Structure 1
Amino acid sequence: MALSAAKLKVGDVHSARLVDDLKRTQIVQYAGASGDYNPLHTDEIFTTKVAGYPAVFAHGMLTMGMTGRMLTDLVGDARLTKYGVRFTSQVWPGDTLDSTATVTEVADGIAKFDVSTKNQNGVEVLSGYAEARVDP
């Protein structure tokens, strides 16, 4: 069922758990699906010994994709008209991610949202916006 403008109010918040205990396997699977085999995401030795990070970390686009799924679960398939994000912190193996979409405006068949994804420590790892077509 499609989201209805009549049921939305500015300030409404939709929250969802995106992943509980992100596994390295999921990060590598995303590398395979996306074709992005940057060693920062797949090679522990390179990432820790050469690049100086504590571990491999998730692709930003993996976090964006999981957050996008939360949005389409909310508004329905083929209804997003805009979606943009900024990656604000890295996502590490073992992280649990929760995302929220807060309604900022509903007018002329379009709902606008502020979007935020945070890890288990409350650190925002993604911030952004979305717009979606909604039924009257």
Structure 2
Amino acid sequence: MSGARLNVGERIVHKEFPPITRHRLALYCGASGDHNPIHVDLDFARKAGFPDVFSHGMLVMAYLGQALTDAVPASRIRSFSTRFAAITQLGAKLTCEGTVAELIEQNGERRARLALTTRDETGEIKLAGEAIVAL
């Protein structure tokens, strides 16, 4: 990412992830300490009115964070925020993207505001957010 050549609307973040599996949810459960049974216990999820377990929202955010740091060195990220838009179902294949929404100067530093999204294979937005990165 070269700040001198960035244009508004340019996509600089793009990463696809394999489908979310029960194994991935179990691993994330253990690693994060989030043991909510809605994410790993099919019977519990059904009793709660869902057809199956579904992904932790923070796992989806972690995917977006990984896609961001693959495109921009962590030392240049000034902020990263998201909002959850929809439940991410088991088996979802996620694509994370980020485009330059604005070029700005803050605190004497040239920066870009990136519009970020995570979508499933149907195009439904699961997570939306933004990042401010130093150029």
Alignment of 1:115-134 (within 5 A): 115-134=116-135
SS at match of 2:20: coil
Report the residue type matching 2:66 in the other structure. Answer: R
Alignment of 1:1-136 (within 5 A): 3-48=1-46, 50-108=47-105, 109-134=110-135
Deviations for 1:59-81, whole angstroms, at most 9, x for unmatched residues? 10100010011111111122211
Report the residue type matching 1:72 in the other structure. Answer: T
Scaled by the length of structure 1, what TM-score is found? Answer: 0.90
Work out whether residues 111 and 131 of structure 1, in 8 Å CA contact, stay in contact via their aligned partners in 2.
yes
Large movers: runs of 4+ above 6 Å:
none
Work out whether residues 19 and 97 of structure 1, in 8 Å CA contact, stay in contact via their aligned partners in 2.
yes
Work out whether residues 111 and 133 of structure 1, in 8 Å CA contact, stay in contact via their aligned partners in 2.
yes
- More displaced, 119-128 or 12-21? 12-21
SS at match of 2:78: strand
Which segments of 5 or more consecutive residues in structure 1 lack a partner in the other structure? none
Which segments of 5 or more consecutive residues in structure 2 lack a partner in the other structure? none
